[in-house]
Amino acid sequence: MGTRMDILCLLLLIVTTVAALRPEGRPEAIQATASDTSYRLPKTVRPTSYDVYLKPEFQTFTFEGDVKIRVEVLENTNKIILHTNKQNISLITVSGDSGIVNTTEANIDREKHFLIIETATNFSADTEYDIDITFKAVLSEDMNGFYRSSYSINKETRWLAATQFEPTHARSAFPCFDEPEFKAKFKITIDTPSGYHSLSNMPQPEVGEPDENGWTKYEFEETREMSTYLVAFIVSDFNSTDSNAKYNFTAWARPNAINNAACSQIVGPQLVDFYEEYTGIKYKFPKTDQVAVPDFAAGAMEDWGLLTYRETGLLYYDEVSTESNKKSTALVIAHELAHMWFGNLVTLQWWDYTWLNEGFTRLFQYLATDTIKRDWHLMEQFVVDQQHTIFSNDALQSAQSLTSESDTPADISAKFGTITYSKGGSVLRMLCHILTPETFQNGLRRYLNTHSWNNTVPKDLFDALEQQRTEDNIDVPPVQEFFEPWTTQPGYPVINVSRTTNGTITVTQERFLLKNDEESEQLKWSVPLTWTTKSQAPTGFQDTKPKEWLFPNDTSKPLPNIEIKPDEWIIFNNQEAGYYRVNYDINNWQLIIQALRENHENISRLNRAQLLDDALNLARAGKLPYSIALDLTLVSVVTWACRLGLEDCVNNAADSFAEYEKNAGNNTIPANLRSIVFCTALERGGEKEWEFLWERYKESLITTEQVTILSALGCTKNESLLTEYLEKSIDENSGIRKQDAASVFSAVYSNPYGVETAFSFLSSNFRKISDFYGGMNAVSNIITGIAGRLTTEKQVTELEKFINDNSGALGSAAEAGRNAVEAARADLEWTKNHKDEILNWLKDESDGSGNIAANTMVVTATLLIALLHNTQKYLTI
């Protein structure tokens, strides 16, 4: 066996690349007012329709507008309260059947974004009024509301205006009742400058003639009832593909990228076919435009009839995109189209229940794409991509439940995280297996049909599925009884399986936490149990219907009906359909390890992935010896040749990059290998290689290629280049788009040679970073990312001092920083506690030849340990 330092250096190589207007003025008549405690609009009135007029001006980056809102009064009131943000309102008129209503006061609560209109007499219940508001605002740069974006063609900058309203930004484009429950019809009119055209949710019957100044009015048909966050419009000079005749699908992009939208035109209609068949409900809008927006903060947005994407989410470049890029594009499109049913047709009542939208669409993006691309095996990948990923976040004491209160815009934005998406999809997948796919599908059809065009809470879903369960005579507990705690409680259980001396198997449950806390709440769930024994394998793994239940009031539960011999293994959670981990007695773990070595095909692929993920995380939590977990890793061999520094691979990468430098116009490096070749070349090269690749980034018009290069530029060991790179990321004239700037920081601090450079830059420039991003949230994410890569107590102490010294200026980022410091210290403690155990295991497994690089299994095991606690660190001795 080689020296410990050999191992650690190899691991260091591995982890190098392994991988978050103020209004310009207001009329004198409108006063700012102090706010009370609630951010919710009162239910005294509701909107029934909007007539919105907008006129964007690209010379001044402003827009003027007018909105007429028809409201129905539900209760007698002398106030109408709606939302406004970042608008300079010049005129407010309220009128009813008897004429204009005399308004006594109009106030703006800037904290809550309220516009409060008061009158001397009450608005009467069961009457309707029109509110007409004239305003001006700025086309923002923050990629929210109605904002400006740009692209270059032949070195000329061209501007466009796009929207992103979810969750609380429609109010930044026009005054409105900006809560999902207030569904209404929308008629959009956009005055469009010469050389541009406009799109919105609905088609336009016809385009009028330009006026004497070249402006053309685009008047769009009125929508059906929909929430404000789903309204959208775009003003651009984009080109389009030919429309798909069946569903009137059209893709739009900048002229020099539109030829790369063909994939979306093929995949989109196939996915709609699937959703229509699955739900039994036809797609409800007369057309679907899909638009690739150059600057787009979200991955994509499901606006009804007008879906918007980052360019990487919609465009596929045959010459540079990888198979992974193609898969990702299909999944993003599938996610957004699923929203046409889950979110648009049936909409959450309030953001507490964001998982009703995003959990379903995360599950169905895999299910739908798996149906049209069977060779990708996406439903198997769902478990690794989604369930295993969220298991880590959901094992923290600070984890939030799926259903949780949200009040402020910041609270609401925080709901759009991995818990909502990945846990939401994972527990819904479990529910599908419990009820059977047929009953689950028919229950969802019932849910969608019952609540079309309306809003729902989780009980509406539970009731629909329960009615279907009863009708189909599915022998499981009532749906709300067993499923609701999975949505209202944070975390998930680990099922402990043990055998008694007489052979009886007994199971218990406890909340799985990576760091045990004696004061943590003792949560329990109704857990569906499935299992397969050696004699039942491999076909037994296909049965995912519950064979038994472990309920919250079960202290422990014997399972006497399982017939198993002393030398037979048993594995629980077939296909990892349940949202829980499983731990066994040591004897059963050893029987499983032996079975995997003798004939791993006898255990299903998903359960093999489950065993490895469970074992490593159980060991991390101190519930399983690392020797058992590491023995499981020997079944899998992963080749990380270049990252391990193997000479042939490194030389081949250097040679390939050198050829690319000689002929930059003809990149012959296969698309799937460019990321590792670029990174290896920059890691072992110098300023010449870095500058060459930076020039390629600036010249590239292909977004997927730009993303690959941005990541590789962080691989250099040159500190001055890394600092220069970070400076470019917050320079609006550098050519790096704001939406991509965060990936620059990630690339630098993910490099062991760059983590201290990133921290030094952050500590000197955090105010500038905050100004560039428009808030401390970006600083918070950077602090968290850096903290996860620190490897010494000195580094952690310096970060802690920085946070304490600047806590006032950091604001909310200070608390996130303290949590990150706590997590970093826990990682250092983990290294201290387990270093010797792991090194001893490596020593035992070595063949004694001294050639550690050749023993790929050993290196793989070490890599898995590094990945296990998501620190991407290396052990220090």
Binding residues for Zn(2+): 335, 339, 358
Place of tokens 């009024």: 129
CA–CA dist 71, 490 (Å, integer): 39
DSSP string, 724-758: HHHHHHT-TTSS--HHHHHHHHHHHHTSTTTHHHH
Burial of 528 (0-12, 13-18, 19+ CB in 10 A): buried
Among candidate residues 356, 417, 353, 422, the one with its CA nearest the CA of residue 387: 422
Pairing type for strands 45-57 and 30-32 reads: unpaired
Handedness of CA 348, 352, 358, 363 (dihedral sign): negative
User: Long-range CB contacts (< 8 A, 24+ apart) of 624-632?
Assistant: 624/583, 624/589, 625/586, 625/837, 626/834, 626/837, 626/838, 626/841, 626/865, 627/837, 627/841, 628/586, 628/589, 628/590, 628/593, 630/838, 630/841, 630/845, 630/861, 630/865, 631/593, 632/592, 632/593, 632/596
**Structure tokens that stand for 450 in this block:** 């019952």
**Local structure of residue 141 (DSSP, 8 states):** S
Within 10 Å of residue 448's Cβ, how many Cβ atoms?
18
> For the chain, how long is the longest CA-to-CA vector?
96
Among candidate residues 73, 109, 68, the one with its CA nearest the CA of residue 92: 68
Phi, psi of 183 (to 5 degrees): -75, 145
Among candidate residues 158, 380, 361, the one with its CA nearest the CA of residue 271: 361
**Structure tokens that stand for 505 in this block:** 């198997």
**Local structure of residue 42 (DSSP, 8 states):** P
| Range list of H helices, 663-792 | 674-684, 687-699, 703-712, 719-729, 738-749, 755-773, 777-787
CA–CA dist 828, 615 (Å, integer): 21
R_g over Cα of the chain:
29
Annotation: binding site: 335, 339, 358
Place of tokens 């731990």: 583
Q: How far is CA 353 from the centre of its chain?
A: 16
**Structure tokens that stand for 602 in this block:** 């006898």
CA–CA dist 85, 420 (Å, integer): 27
DSSP string, 381-447: HHIIIIIHHHHHHTTSTTPPPSS----SHHHHHHTSSHIIIIIHHHHHHHHHHHH-HHHHHHHHHHH
Place of tokens 């009329």: 27
CA–CA dist 3, 480 (Å, integer): 57
Residues marked as catalytic: 336
Place of tokens 């997590």: 823
The upper half-sphere exposure of residue 564, i.e. CA atoms within 13 Å in the direction of its Cβ, equals 27
CA–CA dist 525, 508 (Å, integer): 11
CA–CA dist 854, 647 (Å, integer): 12
Q: In what order do the strands lie in the sheet with 557-559?
A: 557-559, 505-511, 493-499, 581-584
CA–CA dist 572, 575 (Å, integer): 9
Residues 722, 727, 733, CA angle at the centre, nearest 5°?
130
| Range list of H helices, 535-625 | 586-599, 605-620
Handedness of CA 333, 420, 390, 740 (dihedral sign): positive
